[in-house]
């Protein structure tokens, strides 16, 4: 047992001992969302130091939540995969996320804008169903942001594999999305919609009319976007 123990037999206490240390819940969120490799996990928790990430992964392993094994395809690369106990943490993440969506105010939330997290989340949840049978390239432009984070390309290949680039992949662009980071994040979180943002001209679409009309559908939202916010 860890020295930091609560010394309580209560199941809540025993679980919290592992789960409620700094960064751990976000790390579990990334694992539940499907990330398995060290640097993928790191992208999901970019402000966590790699030393602490490494320690937390060892902690989760010894708690029986993940298993560290060599990747099947690349034996020199490690993968962290959820065990049955880890997979069963999904309801915990969902309960916390639902509470956060309902009760954490929008204002402090929207002080934490981050284009990298947003774009990777969008990539992860993109709905390829409304896409055609040929490749679709969508360019996002945040004019307010510094060069490195200003322009992004989302590419849906014919086999429905989704790719994200921050350097021009050279493909013809089917749809240009020009907006600001706050507006795009509000839409992602379900606090606004594509239609509302277009009305207010905070989001401008140019290009393929089909992709334009279908944006609210192909843009997969946050898993918690459907939960109604109660706090202001």
Cα–Cα distance for residue pair 206/20, rounded to 1 Å: 45
Applying CB under 8 A, does 108 fall inside the site for a second copy?
Answer: yes
Q: Does 75 bind DNA (CB under 7 A)?
A: no
Q: Which is nearer to a second copy, 16 or 173 (CB)?
A: 16
CA distances to 37, 38, 112, 114, 231 from 41, rounded to whole Å, are 6, 5, 19, 16, 30
From the list 66-74, 97-105, 169-177, 211-219, the region that binds a second copy by CB under 8 A is 97-105
35-43, 88-96, 123-131, 207-215 -> range binding a second copy (CB under 8 A): 88-96
Q: Is 47 in the site for a second copy (CB under 8 A)?
A: yes
How does 46-82 read in b/e, with b if 16+ C-beta sit within 10 Å? eebeeeebeebbebbeebebbeeeeeeeeeeeebbeb
CB of 23 to DNA, least distance (A): 6
Rounded Cα distance between 212 and 86, Å, is 39
Nearer to a second copy among residue 89 and residue 155 (C-beta): 89
Burial of 144 (0-12, 13-18, 19+ CB in 10 A): exposed
Residue 165 found at the interface with a second copy (CB under 8 A): no
- 18 in contact with DNA (CB under 7 A): no
Closest approach, Cβ 2 to DNA, in A, equals 7
Distances from the Cα of 39 to the Cα of 23, 24, 46, 92, 178, angstroms:
16, 16, 10, 24, 29
Tell me the site size for DNA, rule CB under 7 A.
25
202 binds DNA (CB under 7 A): no
Interface residues with a second copy (CB under 8 A)? 1, 4-16, 19-26, 29, 45, 47, 64, 84-85, 88-89, 91-104, 108-114, 117-118, 121, 185, 189, 222, 224, 227, 230-231
């Amino acid at each position: 047992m860890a020295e930091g123990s609560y010394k309580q037999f209560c199941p809540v206490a025993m679980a919290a001992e592992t789960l409620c240390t700094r960064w751990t819940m976000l790390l579990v969120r990334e694992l539940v969302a499907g990330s398995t490799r060290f640097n993928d996990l790191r992208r999901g928790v970019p402000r966590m130091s790699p030393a602490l990430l490494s320690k937390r992964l060892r902690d989760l392993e010894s708690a029986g939540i993940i298993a560290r094994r060599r990747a099947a395809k690349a034996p020199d690369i490690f993968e962290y995969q959820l065990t049955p106990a880890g997979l069963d943490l999904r309801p915990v993440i969902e309960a916390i996320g639902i509470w956060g969506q309902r009760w954490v105010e929008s204002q402090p939330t929207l002080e934490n804008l981050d284009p990298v997290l947003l774009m990777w989340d969008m990539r992860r949840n993109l709905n390829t169903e409304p896409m055609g049978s040929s490749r679709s390239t969508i360019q996002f432009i945040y004019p307010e942001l510094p060069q490195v984070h200003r322009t992004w390309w989302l590419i849906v290949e014919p086999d429905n594999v989704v790719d994200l680039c921050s350097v021009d992949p050279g493909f013809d662009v089917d749809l240009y999305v020009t907006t600001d980071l706050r507006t795009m994040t509000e839409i992602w979180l379900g606090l606004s919609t594509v239609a509302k943002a277009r009305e207010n001209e905070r989001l401008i679409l140019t290009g393929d009319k089909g992709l334009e009309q279908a944006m609210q559908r192909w843009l997969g939202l946050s898993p918690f976007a459907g939960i109604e916010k109660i706090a202001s």
